[in-house]
Amino acid sequence: MINELPDLAKEDLKYNLHANPVEPATYNLTLVYPNWTPPAPQPKLMNGDQVKNNLRKIGIFL
């Protein structure tokens, strides 16, 4: 689960296109990665209609 979405108050900068741009405190690169562990792939279960359709294709009618 993503622990925290980006500080949304600062998201205004994105939409406001640097409303009051200030010189960076540093020109060094700082990248902040989210604390995210992608969920493990889950098997997808078909619903009843999907199962029936697939069976019809091979000649089995329920």
Name the minimum Å distance from CB 57 to other proteins: 21
Q: Cα(61)–Cα(43) distance, rounded to whole angstroms?
A: 25
Name the minimum Å distance from CB 35 to other proteins.
9
| Single residue of 5, 40, 58, 62 touching other proteins by CB under 8 A | 5
Question: 52 burial class (0-12, 13-18, 19+ CB within 10 angstroms)?
Answer: middle
**Total number of residues binding other proteins (CB under 8 A)?**
32
HSE, side-chain direction, 13 A CA sphere, residue 22: 4
Under the binding rule (CB under 8 A), the answer on residue 46 touching other proteins is no
Q: What tokens appear for 32 in the block?
A: 């902040």
Catalog residues that contact other proteins under the rule CB under 8 A. 1-2, 5-6, 8-19, 21-34, 36, 38
